[in-house]
Structure formats: C-alpha cells, structure tokens
C-alpha cells in the first residue's frame, strides 16, 4: 500500500521497474491521492493511471479539467457513466472518439456521439452499434 504522496511520487519516478509498477497498481487511501492531486499537478495523469483509485478520486481528477487526465479517464473502465456523458461535451475530438469506443458508455452518451460534429466520432459509434 502507498502511504503518502511523497511515496507515490518516488515510486512513479523510480528507475526500478518493480517500484514504477507499484505506482500503477498499489492502492492508497483516498487522502493520499487527494494530497498528490493537491500538491503534485504533474502527477495527476499518473494517479488516473493507477488501477485501484476509487470513484471519488476519479471525480476529483475529472474536476481538474486537465486534458491529458480527461483523455485517460475517457478510456478508464471505472470512470462513472455520468462523467463519461459529461465528456461527450468536450471540444476535444480525440476524447470523444475514445468515448465512442468505451465499453461502458451510457446510452445517452451513445446518442449524443451518434450526432457528433466529427465524422470519425460518428463512424466509431456506427461501428459500435453494428457490433464491429
């Protein structure tokens, strides 16, 4: 278990593969993740990358508005449906395209993206609807 923000940063920046991998897989209390988010904005993406973060931490990361973090959350299976729906309104075409392929995309989001201004996003949704 990761016990502090400093430990997470040390693990994430380590050149030792075992330590680096711990940053992606080990759990930590939400308070530790909140501390990382508060004090280390350059680590937001790597917090999002961690497999064990809670929904509350995902929501906190979403609220950063950081495009790189939002792009990752658009791929993350644990991202709640209401946040996936909100991401449909982003101006970032890559995020919307990524959402079109998300396995847990809510029906309302599918409907929105089916009428997206981007042909690539619309095409990705059509493929999804056809089961390809």
Q: Domain boundaries in the chain?
A: 1-65, 74-132
Q: Is the dihedral of CA 109, 110, 112, 118 positive or negative?
A: positive
pTM equals 0.94
Q: Containing H/E element for 96?
A: helix 93-100
Instruction: Provide CB contacts within 8 A for 65, sequence distance 6+.
Output: none
Q: How many CB atoms within 10 Å of residue 131?
A: 5
pLDDT tens string 22-39: 999 999 999 999 999 999
Nearest to 26 by CA among 46, 45, 55, 41: 46
Cα–chain-centroid distance for residue 46? 10
pLDDT tens string 64-76: 999 999 999 999 9
């Amino acid at each position: 278990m990761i016990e502090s923000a400093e430990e997470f940063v040390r693990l994430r920046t380590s050149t030792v593969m075992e330590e680096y991998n711990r940053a992606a897989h080990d759990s930590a209390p939400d308070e530790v993740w909140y501390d990382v988010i508060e004090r280390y904005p350059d680590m937001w993406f790597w917090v999002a990358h961690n497999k064990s973060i809670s929904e509350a931490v995902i929501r906190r990361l979403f609220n950063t508005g950081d495009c790189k973090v939002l792009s990752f959350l658009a791929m993350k299976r644990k991202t709640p449906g209401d946040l996936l729906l909100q991401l449909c309104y982003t101006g970032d075409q890559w995020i919307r395209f990524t959402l079109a392929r998300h396995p847990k995309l809510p029906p309302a989001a599918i409907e929105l993206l089916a009428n997206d201004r981007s042909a690539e996003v619309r095409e990705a949704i059509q493929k999804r609807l056809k089961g390809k």
